[in-house]
Amino acid sequence: MKKIPTLLAGLLLTVGLASTDSAASAERSAPIHFGAIGWESGALTTEILRLIVERGYGYPTDTLPGSTVSMEVALARNDLQVIAEEWAGRSPAWVKAEQAGQVYALGDTVKNAEEGWWVPAYVIEGDAARKLKPMAPDLRSVEDLKRYPQVFRDPESPGKGRFLNSPAGWTSETVNSQKLKAYGLDELYSNFRTGSGAAMDAEVASAIRRGQAVLFYYWNPTPLMGRYKLIRLEEPPFDAQAWATLTDAGNPNPKGSRSLPAKLSIGVSRDFRDSYPELVSVFEQVDLPIDRLNQALAAMSEKRTPPRDAALSFLRDNREVWKAWLPADIAAKVEGSL
């Protein structure tokens, strides 16, 4: 009879351990939620990481849509676990969550990334092959834009030029809107927004094909950078206090500044960081050469290849790049799956 409590305790302990193991197993069998990023470089990077996680480590994944800011908020809540291309430190939502220890930026995934205001090179230099004369030969900086609104004439507001901004909901849309005010251009240029990143790309590409002047916000890495010759306009040097006025849509007196120096990282939630140390270690090693990435993005765009298929092609064509991020046995599994 004295053995019964001991046996019962052992049974309860075994059941408790099994329950704990079962909960851990269920947690690991649930998919890792990646943010469904709308721009090409983010979409391609997302699929590259998902393929490595699925085929190298055997974890299921899926994607959930949202705007930049809404995905950052979801990451802080662990409703998302991974944002594959995070321009860390750019939005108040990210800064707040990072300071609270709710999100982490892993690695430096694309060196020499940048963002700013661009024009096609032929606008300044002309293009003899296309018989295009320079349209704004002295255009060098955002300040010079005050002289050229008619070059970038808005067909819907002929008395103004048109500045092609990011779609609404992107952090950069707020920054660009504030920059128009800071540079004294808001009365000279329409603040035009397309409905999506794809529509924005289509508008820029259409203008370039027709040899028309177009002034637009853009960033690197992107398909456009791999396809066209573009010139970035000069802005005042980066100033942290000025930057704070540009990220605040409600600030009535924004100050001009180049954008925060770009550092692309992989954004992860605190729970992901604690639960998947092996993946954190890999994500910290991710390094996508910008020239190869631009070429892959250009090919993806021109052929209209779905990001998943483009990611498979990237993994097949650049084995020496991604194998350097992985332990040898995991790299072998990924390679075998290709």
DSSP string, 152-188: TEETTEEEEEEEEEPPTTSHHHHHHHHHHHHTT-TTT
Per-residue DSSP letter, 145: G
Residues 119 and 242 in one domain: yes
- Of 196, 234, 233, 198, the closest CA to residue 214 belongs to 233
Does residue 2 lie within any of the structural domains?
Answer: no
Residues 194 and 307 in one domain: no
pLDDT along the chain (338 residues), means of 10: 44 43 54 94 96 97 92 97 91 92 96 92 97 97 98 94 93 95 98 89 93 95 85 96 95 95 93 98 96 90 93 97 97 96
Residues 239 and 278 in one domain: no
DSSP string, 202-226: HHHHHHHHTT---EEEEEESSHHHH
CA angle (283, 59, 294) in 5-degree steps: 40
- Of 250, 283, 240, 247, the closest CA to residue 96 belongs to 247
Residues 240 and 154 in one domain: yes
Q: How many domains does the chain have?
A: 2
**At which of 246, 277, 304 does a domain end?**
246
**At which of 246, 278, 307 does a domain end?**
246
Whole-angstrom distance, CA of residue 88 vs CA of residue 268: 11
Query: For tokens 């030969």, what's the residue?
Result: 137
pLDDT of residue 301: 86
Whole-angstrom distance, CA of residue 203 vs CA of residue 205: 6
Residues 190 and 236 in one domain: yes
- Of 192, 172, 166, 163, the closest CA to residue 262 belongs to 172
Does residue 285 lie within any of the structural domains?
Answer: yes
Does residue 256 lie within any of the structural domains?
Answer: no
Rg (CA), the chain: 24
Does residue 37 lie within any of the structural domains?
Answer: yes
**Contact predicate 100/294, CB 8 Å:** no
Whole-angstrom distance, CA of residue 260 vs CA of residue 238: 7
**At which of 246, 277, 292 does a domain end?**
246
Whole-angstrom distance, CA of residue 312 vs CA of residue 59: 17
Give the residue numbers spanning the domain of 289.
31-111+263-337
Residues 132 and 230 in one domain: yes
Residues 152 and 195 in one domain: yes
- 178: domain CATH number is 3.40.190.100
H or E stretch covering 36 = strand 32-36
CB burial of residue 331 (10 Å; 0-12, 13-18, 19+): middle
Does residue 227 lie within any of the structural domains?
Answer: yes
- 289: domain CATH number is 3.40.190.10
Residues 136 and 234 in one domain: yes
- Name residue 215's beta-bridge partners: 163
Does residue 21 lie within any of the structural domains?
Answer: no
Per-residue DSSP letter, 148: -
Whole-angstrom distance, CA of residue 31 vs CA of residue 131: 55
Residues 146 and 51 in one domain: no
The answer for residues whose C-beta is within 8 angstroms of residue 225's C-beta and 6 or more apart is 218, 294
Task: Tell how far CA 58 is from the center of its chain.
Answer: 25
Residues 130 and 214 in one domain: yes
Whole-angstrom distance, CA of residue 268 vs CA of residue 33: 10
Residues 74 and 43 in one domain: yes
pLDDT of residue 9: 46
Does residue 5 lie within any of the structural domains?
Answer: no
Whole-angstrom distance, CA of residue 120 vs CA of residue 126: 9
Does residue 98 lie within any of the structural domains?
Answer: yes
Residues 134 and 239 in one domain: yes
Whole-angstrom distance, CA of residue 309 vs CA of residue 10: 52
**Contact predicate 318/293, CB 8 Å:** no
Give the CA count within 13 Å in the CB-facing half-sphere of 332.
3
pTM of this structure: 0.72
- Name residue 104's beta-bridge partners: 268
pLDDT of residue 160: 97
